[in-house]
Chain A
Amino acid sequence: MFEQFKARAEAVSAEVHRFASKTETIAFLEQFLRSEGIGGASPERAVWADRAFLDEETRRRLCERLPGLSFRVTRESAAEARIGISRMDWAVAETGTLLVDATAIEDRLVSSLPLIHIALVATGRILPDMASALGKFDPARSRYLSAITGPSRTADIERVLTIGVHGPKRLIVVFVDGGEEP
């Protein structure tokens, strides 16, 4: 199902990565953030709506190495950030869609305001279709459910597909193997 997800998601301009462990995932993210200028002296900003993927020690270490990175997600910090990072609850193979209970405002801010959104999801959470994915949620509890399929797009001017309007211009999906929950 990973291959199907990847093909569908890439067909709508998402970028898809997969790593064998938490350590490799964090290494990739660090390297990626650095390449996007989060590391420098007057750095670009990144905000990470982390739940419990990183321990205190790792967060501290990452913030030291990447001065532009913050785990405090506010309206202001998300609006300034170049990159937003958040976890997803499920991935749907048939359409290349990610689903997340985004009731927490932080989840919505980091996935809608920055130019680049990095979506972390456990490889074990790929489902075949939307029917099974929607069945995982109880709308009474999940007040704001988001399904995300590729980056923000429009074809409103002369029907020409253009990526990145009000939401992210790049959607980077990172799958984490090994039973880790990002």
Chain B
Amino acid sequence: MRAEFKQSIESALENATLTGALGKFSETYRISRAKAYEGIDFEALRTQIAERKSYAASQLEALAGQFARNAEAHGAKVFRTSDPRQVKEYILKVAREQGATSVVKSKSMASEEIHLNAFLQEHGLEVRETDLGEWIIQLAGQRPSHMVLPAIHMTKEEVAELFSKEVNERLSSDIPRLVGVARRELRPKFLHAGIGITGANIAVAETGSLVLFTNEGNARLVTSLPKTHIAIVGIEKLVARFEDILPIMTALPRSATAQLLTSYVSIITGPAPNTDGTMKDLHIILMDNRRTEMARDPQFSQALQCIRCASCLNVCPVFRLVGGHVFGKVYTGGIGTILTAWFDALQQSEDIQGLCIQCGNCKELCPAKIDIPGLILELRRRLAVEQGQPLVQKAIFSVVNNRRLFHAMLRAASLGQKPVASDGFIRHLPFFLSSFTKDRSLPAIAETPFRDRFRKIPQPKCKEKAGFYAGCLIDFAYPEMGEAVIRILNQAGVEVVFPDEQTCCGAPARYSGAYEVAAQNAVDNIRAFAGQDIRYIVTACPTCTVALKHEFIRTFESLGRGEWLPQAQELSAKAMDFSTLVKQLAGEGRLSFQKLPEHLPLVTYHDSCHLKRTLNVHQEPRELLRSAGRDIVEMFEADVCCGMGGSYSLKLPRISASILRRKLANIEATGAAEVAADCPGCVMQIRGGCDKKGLNVKVRHTAELLAERLA
């Protein structure tokens, strides 16, 4: 990670205006977005969009040809190029031919992508952005920090300052008046410009139509007043049919700004009349810039389904802390990371891909059904393949994979700090984990790992057997969680086996892009559980469950190691998360909990990212806790990441700590005395945060809360 990049994160985190504005927006966005989608089957809608856009991405060449023929038949001039340089030169040539000296633009990310303004200005043209946010950014000499809200990082005072300079008049920071200044200043620009430049939200092949969504009304002026209109269209905007507009029209405003529809939608099909009776000189530039190459990539072609709503920015727990400028490029946030890797270069995404904490929020809300975190992981993998793994990382993995050695090292570190360990926490850990500890205490490493404690728990002989997969944290730091799981299963008449050869689930390696290491982890674990007479493999760590259930398979697939797939699938079929299994056992009447009356403190439940969004489990633990006599009070944003993200908290400790601070505030606001979570990683993060902050809140695994209530 480059030092400047780390520095830009630091300054973003310290920018209270930025994090305040983005934080507030992200909170209201989720609520207003949900309201905008009321009465709409979002899954059906996004499936439709994904189908139509993925079809278009698979037919780019044919659709571009069809679009060009149809638009030209209506009188438009269509220019196709894969080269950004040619786009700029074409526009300059048109301007020269028309004798135009000034250009008005409505918002176009494609023009930002190729840095059009700078080029045209260098060649003597006056270029004016007319979207309010874009104009602000232009005056400030900045890049947009957000695809839909380019100036969201600025305050009204900063805007007043910029406008005051521009109009040479002392302006107050009254927002309606500032908007009035924009109207007044830009109106003559619209009226006198020779050329209007726009992007397009959709391009319809069957009719040669362009579709533009705007709220301010500037695109209608840009396309109506100048005699020449140039539209720059990234070819991923193509759809096959006119009716394909409809699902995008339904989703884009709702996902982008929580509106049922933007104030204006313009559908332009060929030139329309100008004010002097001539017909518009309409140029449409179909720009490739590596999109065709992307379409041929089996993993990344889905990124072309993007409709640029920016909801992946709005719901990202990291974006709302650091904003768009740390991305250093035109496209920001989750999808921006992917686009940057393609439109600029893979290396350009090296730092920014690390910002993704893999919480899955964006994937859940993407109206084009793009697996954004999955694609970012794939970038990470390709970067790791291209550059090789850093030495330190290699060393860590070689230790992590040797269970006894890993435990011994952690334990040694833990013991070395014994004098400062109190209440089960190590306050300063002199190890590669040391950067953890500024905002969060670490757990003491257990004297005896779970694997050794398990041997001392006599197992009942039962017909039904389950294998227990512990994972690193339960094995080494929180064996008591594992013991709680065993007690509950035994009580339900399930015998537990613990194959001693089990090792790390591979998540740390996979999330670092080290797929070969992750594959070896998968092989070792498959071997460890092979031949056991077990009905389930239960794990009390959702990240491990996801690895067992899905990621072993995906890792083998992406490395082309098909020979392991049948065994990986067999393991996957047996893998189950703790709450789902226990809920099932309770449903079969095999478990019962102590009855009330007993007054117990209120509990608030934290949803772990992998459990909620990958495994879709969120009711089960709550229902189990309630059936065990615990009252739950819901916290705000219960399903937003706690900032742990495995090794994320190691690589980007400051971001991790800021995310954690929000979580702790939400917990505190409930007044609950206890927090339950199904993930030992979340427990570690939140418990450590409470300890550092001095909050008198107990944080435990759901299994522990349930085990103490067994009848």
Contacts and interface: CB of A to CB of B under 8 A. Distances in A.
Interface stretch (B149-157, B601-609, B659-667): B149-157
Contact of B182 (A79, A109, A149, A165): A165
A140 B215 contact: no
Interface size class of B (residues with CB under 8 A): 35 or more
B270 A143 contact: yes
A75 interface: yes
A158 interface: yes
Interface in A134-182: 134, 137, 139-140, 142-160, 162, 164-168
Contact of B159 (A74, A75, A151, A157): A157
Given A144-B266, A156-B151, A157-B179, A104 B273 contact: yes
B653 to A, nearest CB: 30
A86 interface: no
B257 A139 contact: no
B179 A95 contact: no
Contacts of A113: 221
A34 to B, nearest CB: 25
Interface string B155-191: 1100100000000000000011011001100110011
Interface string B253-268: 0000101111111111
Nearest to B132: A156
B25 A159 contact: yes
B156 A147 contact: no
Contacts of A137: 267
Contact of A158 (B21, B131, B221): B21
Contacts of B261: 95, 97, 130, 147, 149
B130 A166 contact: yes
Contacts of A168: 217
Nearest to A147: B265
A54 interface: no
A8 interface: yes
Interface in B222-278: 223-225, 242-243, 245-246, 249-250, 257, 259-276
Nearest to A162: B179
Contact of A152 (B175, B216, B223, B225): B216
B209 interface: yes
Given A112-B224, A152-B215, A157-B136, 13 more contacts: A12-B260, A79-B191, A96-B260, A105-B224, A105-B272, A111-B220, A134-B246, A139-B204, A140-B269, A156-B131, A157-B178, A165-B179, A167-B221
28 contacts: A12-B259, A74-B275, A75-B191, A75-B276, A130-B250, A137-B267, A139-B267, A140-B269, A142-B267, A144-B224, A147-B265, A149-B260, A149-B261, A149-B264, A152-B215, A152-B216, A156-B149, A157-B151, A157-B159, A157-B179, A158-B156, A162-B175, A166-B182, A166-B183, A166-B186, A166-B190, A166-B216, A166-B217
